[in-house]
Amino acid sequence: MNQNIIISGNLQADLSHALGDISHDRLFVLTDTTTHRLCWPLVEVFPCLKEARLITIGATDENKTLESLSYVWTSLQQGGATRHSLMVNLGGGMVTDLGGFAASTFKRGMAYVNIPTTLLSLVDASVGGKTGINFGGLKNEIGVFSTPRRVLLSTEFLRTLDFQGICSGYAEMLKHGLISNEAHWADLLRFDLDEIDYARLQELVAESVAVKARIVEEDPSEKGIRKALNLGHTAGHAFESLALLSGHPVLHGYAVAWGLVCELYLSAKRLGFSKHKLQQVIQFVREHYGTFAFDCRQYDRLYELMTHDKKNTGQEVNFTLLADVGDVRINQTATRDEVFDMLDFYRESMGC
């Protein structure tokens, strides 16, 4: 695994060592209102953070905006930050995405460290160097690739999460299992989300992070195999954007879970992905994530949202599909009619 990704058994010692290794003149910590309340108290007593200046923004994806970004830039400026300063992003994917983008663009770039505090950010948002904000009603429309100097992964924070927060992150782990191998996938299906074994969860998190880190290292700027990580995301981001536009936002992982149902149906139809495994996914998703309700009058809007996906090169929608667990096929395009058929299947199988 990338040496900058640290599976932490002692967060205080590991953070102190990481900050000591990165030369900086001033230290800033970014939180949102939720992580300021639940997570900052766990680390604010660390001696290595005693000189840190705290910046706090609103929580949830609704605040992953240009306004929040501007507030962070202003806080850095007023706090005397230079390009030699360092920012620690303490939070979920929204905080690490926005904080990474703020740090990467302030003074043309200052160093940053991610400490993800949700399961979703542990296994997805904190690794890979994607930063950015939502813009114009579209997910992650503005951003840059910028690698954090360190990522400290600690499951200490997971006990602060509710069931929905755990499930949201677990959807990305399901995706990692699907693009990895049968054994990894089977382990994930067996794990009991209702009675969580946190020691076992940490092992599964490490496996998930290793899958993503290996792919990102091979293709850091998403020209080829890194697109494997987009499984479930073309449809999922459309669901997420539609929900955001309607004023009823959904958690990213839930949208990905629903997107997996859609894209594995396309995989079964186009590439012969096992219908039995598709049914396994449908059952797991319905049981743990419920369903995202929409009707055929919203098909055009969902299709339009999919055409805005950054993976597209023309008017057709680009998907990452599977011929089998671990057998990834990138750059699979689908027509409008195929997308509508996929949405029909989703509504029928998920009981919309």
In the set 36, 150, 184, 233, the catalytic residue is: 233
- 233 is a catalytic site residue: yes
- 237 is a catalytic site residue: yes
Among the residues of 181-331, which ranges form H helices?
182-190, 198-218, 233-245, 252-271, 275-289, 299-307
In the set 252, 263, 288, 318, the catalytic residue is: 252
- 275 is a catalytic site residue: no
User: Reduced to 3 states, what is the DSSP secondary structure of residue 115?
Assistant: strand
What contacts 27, CB < 8 A, 6 or more positions away?
19, 49, 51, 52, 53, 85, 86, 87, 88
- 248 is a catalytic site residue: no
- 230 is a catalytic site residue: yes
- 212 is a catalytic site residue: yes
- 172 is a catalytic site residue: yes
- 252 is a catalytic site residue: yes
In the set 36, 64, 130, 150, the catalytic residue is: 130
Geometric angle at alpha carbon 146, from 88 and 39, rounded to 5°: 25
In the set 226, 227, 277, 288, the catalytic residue is: 226
Type and span of the H or E element at 104? helix 93-105
- 348 is a catalytic site residue: no
In the set 64, 139, 212, 227, the catalytic residue is: 212
In the set 36, 237, 277, 288, the catalytic residue is: 237
Neighbouring C-beta atoms of residue 329, cutoff 10 Å: 17
In the set 63, 89, 114, 230, the catalytic residue is: 230
- 304 is a catalytic site residue: no
In the set 44, 156, 222, 338, the catalytic residue is: 222
Closest CA to 146 of 80, 178, 102: 102
DSSP bridge partners of 329: 321
Dihedral through CA 42, CA 44, CA 46, CA 52, nearest 10? 150
Active-site residues, by number, are 108, 130, 172, 212, 222, 226, 230, 233, 237, 252
